[in-house]
């Protein structure tokens, strides 16, 4: 089992890798929990939390509709230009740079150019600036927003995030997990959505929110975080959308014994979205 998730993972790699945790696979009470335990043995078992909430929000928006390979450089360039440093005021005192305030005052074309590798950069830059302005107005900056995400009721935080333009369920859940450290949060991205339905852990025609409900019901709260990140890695390595490992060789997938192969037809060398089988 590897000690750290790769840097391209949405959790932020070594910068937001969480703390190692130990779980006993023999105690699994559901098939979904068994799958998550096996993924933990393959990759990592970690509890998450502690990342800056606003940076996590920005990072997840940059990842929307693109790959981590494209969005990670955009995040790095954004942080290099707008955050993570100190400035000196007119009296010579050193102040820490507030990322939210820096982005609230950012020039939109300049920000768009900075994050251009992430794609949809005009739309994303406009959203990020608007979010930064709202967070400065309502929470006084990133420190206040961090406290809100960390300390407020989970459902209140989620509903508030979902009320923000450009923030969908996956983005809200990533903030709750990686910044808020909330147990029982299983963000559903395209990999998780595909794999859960393909394996039969959720109905074949389930939407993202329904998949989330099934996984959060069947996976213990402490395992949802690493279940999310490990399932993403499994999707990249074994259970891709068009060429899952089992298509050519049933024994090539380490989770073959736990999978219903919904929408995968090795005899016909064909793969369809699970919803097409419902």
Q: How far is CA 69 from CA 66, 195, 230, in A?
A: 8, 21, 17
pLDDT of residue 207: 97
Question: Which class would CATH give 53-179?
Answer: mainly alpha
- CB-based contacts of 62-70 (< 8 A; 24+ apart in sequence): 62/115, 62/118, 62/124, 63/10, 63/118, 64/120, 64/124, 64/166, 64/168, 64/171, 65/119, 65/120, 66/118, 66/119, 66/120, 68/8, 68/9, 68/10, 69/8, 70/117, 70/118, 70/119
Ranges of CATH 1.10.1670.10 domains, the chain:
31-48+185-276
pLDDT of residue 174: 93
Report the number of secondary-structure helices (H) and strands (E) in the chain. Answer: 12, 6
CA distance 200 to 262: 7
Token pair, residue 138, equals 């309502």
CA-based max dimension of the chain: 74
What's the whole-model pTM score? Answer: 0.85
Query: Across the chain, what does the average pLDDT equal?
Result: 88
Question: Which class would CATH give 31-48+185-276?
Answer: mainly alpha
pLDDT of residue 85: 58
In percent, the amount of the chain with pLDDT more than 70 equals: 87
Q: Coil, strand or helix: which one is 101?
A: helix
The single residue listed with the structure tokens 């998550």 is: 36
pLDDT of residue 67: 81
Number of other CB atoms surrounding residue 110 within 10 Å: 11
Ranges of CATH 1.10.340.30 domains, the chain:
53-179
- CB-based contacts of 131-134 (< 8 A; 24+ apart in sequence): 131/57, 131/58, 131/61, 131/164, 131/165, 131/166, 131/167, 132/54, 132/99, 132/100, 132/101, 132/102, 132/103, 132/104, 132/106, 133/104, 134/164
Regions in the chain scoring below 70 on pLDDT = 1-19, 84-97
């Amino acid at each position: 089992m590897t000690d750290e998730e790769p840097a391209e993972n949405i959790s932020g790699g070594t910068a937001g890798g969480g703390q190692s945790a130990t779980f006993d696979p023999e105690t699994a009470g559901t098939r979904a929990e068994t799958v998550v335990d096996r993924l933990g043995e393959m990759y990592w078992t970690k509890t998450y939390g502690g990342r800056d909430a606003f940076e996590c929000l920005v990072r997840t928006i940059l990842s929307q509709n693109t790959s981590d390979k494209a969005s990670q450089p955009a995040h790095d360039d954004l942080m290099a230009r707008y955050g993570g440093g100190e400035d000196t005021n007119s009296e010579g005192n050193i102040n820490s740079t507030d990322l939210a305030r820096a982005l609230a005052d950012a020039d939109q074309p300049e920000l768009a150019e900075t994050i251009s590798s992430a794609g949809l950069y005009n739309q994303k830059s406009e959203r990020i600036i608007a979010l930064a302005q709202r967070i400065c107005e309502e929470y006084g900056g990133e420190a206040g927003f961090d406290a809100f995400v960390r300390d407020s009721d989970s459902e209140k935080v989620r509903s508030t995030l979902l009320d923000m333009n450009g923030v969908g369920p996956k983005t809200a859940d990533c903030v709750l997990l990686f910044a808020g450290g909330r147990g029982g949060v299983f963000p559903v991205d395209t990999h998780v959505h595909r794999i859960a339905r393909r394996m039969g852990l959720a109905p074949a025609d389930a939407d993202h929110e329904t998949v989330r409900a099934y996984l959060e019901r069947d996976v213990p709260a402490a395992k949802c975080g690493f279940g999310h990140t490990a399932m993403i890695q499994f999707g990249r390595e074994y259970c891709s959308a068009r060429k899952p490992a089992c298509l050519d060789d049933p024994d090539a997938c380490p989770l073959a014994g736990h999978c219903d192969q919904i929408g995968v037809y090795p005899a016909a060398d064909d793969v369809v979205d699970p919803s097409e089988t419902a």
